Structure 1
Amino acid sequence: MACRIGELVLGCREPEVLARFWCEVLDFVVLDREGDDCVEIGPREGFGGPQPTIILSRRDEPEPGKARLHIDVNPTDRDQDAELARLLALGARPADIGQTGEEQWHVLADPEGNEFCLLKARIDPV
């Protein structure tokens, strides 16, 4: 038996703002709230399904150093260019981490500057 990722925890200044952003990006819903300090989002079927949930936990000060984990997302119902346009309209912005321009992915940042990548390959939404 192996482990499986059940939750990802992301420290942030404004959990509600990032919850709205990531719910739109991933077609997730808010599953739980703990006051103003913590919002858990995930797939509509809730915790324990094939996808991990994301806990957005308030941190007043960013942790020092570069984040060691980032999220990669794949389009499901449109091509990469259309999904890029959608993500930018939601508040993502391009992030420069030294790409050459030849990559098959786009590096973006969420509204708080957390980097994530939009990959080229489409995958099944389930």
Structure 2
Amino acid sequence: MACRISELVVDCTGPERLAAFWSEVLGCTEPGRGDGGIIAIGPPGADFGGPQPILVFIPSSDPRTGKLRLHIDVSPTDRDQDAGLERLLAPGARPVGVGQTGTESWHVLAGPEGNEFCLLHTRIQPL
């Protein structure tokens, strides 16, 4: 029997802020909130355990230590990479260096809490 990813859980100090940021970046809606300030977001119509994974932001006061071992890659769906970069910078993403050479086809950015993610070059079809 195989498994599939149903939720990606992110510990964070500000679930409201991160849920709002990623909702804008990904065009997501909020299927629900849980006890203790937990906020879930996903594609329109998505929910816990559905066919598409959702992001779940859980409040945590634990400090981040070291480099992330997992990060999110996003691809533009309605514009080229340069315009996509401008769109991501508007709600608060910022460029960060993690050892890039300058020849990469992607941009490394950080969200509101400093977690890195990449904007890829290839434009893909929206869901």
* TM-score normalised by length of structure 1: 0.94
Cα distance in structure 2, aligned partners of 1:66 and 1:95 = 13
- CA deviation digits over 1:68-125, x for unaligned, max 9? 1100000001000000000001100001001011000000000000100000001111
For structure 2, which runs of at least 5 residues remain unmatched after alignment? none
Aligned position for 2:80: 79
Q: How many residues align?
A: 125
1:26 aligns with 2:26: yes
Amino acid at match of 1:19: A
Does residue 62 in structure 1 map to residue 46 in structure 2?
Answer: no
Letter in 2 for 1:45: G
How far is 1:65 from its partner? 2.8
How far did residue 34 of structure 1 move? 1.9
Partner of 1:53: 54
**TM-score, normalised on structure 2?**
0.93
- The alignment-based identity, stated in percent, is 58
RMSD: 1.2
Equivalent runs, 1:5-20 vs 2, <5 Å: 5-20=5-20
Q: Which residue of 2 aligns with 1:39?
A: 39
* Cα distance in 2 between the residues matched to 1:93 and 1:63: 18
